[in-house]
Amino acid sequence: MVRIRMKSMGRRHRPFFRICAMDSRTPRDGRSIEELGHYDPMSSNAETQTVLNVDRLRYWLGVGAQPSEKVSALLRKHGVKKPAPGEPWALPKPATPAPAATEAN
């Protein structure tokens, strides 16, 4: 079974975690199938504290990967949900407005 869990990468008194898709039998810091983001609880900037690859997370949730308790709390906090049956796992890209053409007369 594939689990989405945290992999400890920090040092003592400076925690840092990578959020990875891993086989449930691998050790905590073992080989991961795919890295899906990172979590830095010591970061003072809320935007850089948690970085997630939402499309890939939705893919892994869609194929049956189970998140750990802490990862599921992070996913709830950031609004990442399992895609509904028949719904594509990739989120649509926001449309970028076309640059306005300026005419010089």
pLDDT of residue 82: 86
pTM of the model: 0.79
Instruction: Round the average pLDDT of the chain to a whole number and report it.
Output: 87
pLDDT tens readout for residues 5-45: 999 988 999 999 999 999 999 998 889 999 999 999 999 98
pLDDT tens readout for residues 38-53: 999 999 988 889 999 9
* Token representation of residue 44: 């003072």
Q: List the chain domain ranges.
A: 2-78
Residues 61, 2: Cα–Cα separation, whole Å:
10
Q: Is the pLDDT of residue 98 over 90?
A: no
Nearest of 13, 15, 27 to residue 5 by alpha carbon: 27
pLDDT of residue 50: 92
In CATH, what number does 2-78 get?
3.30.1320.10
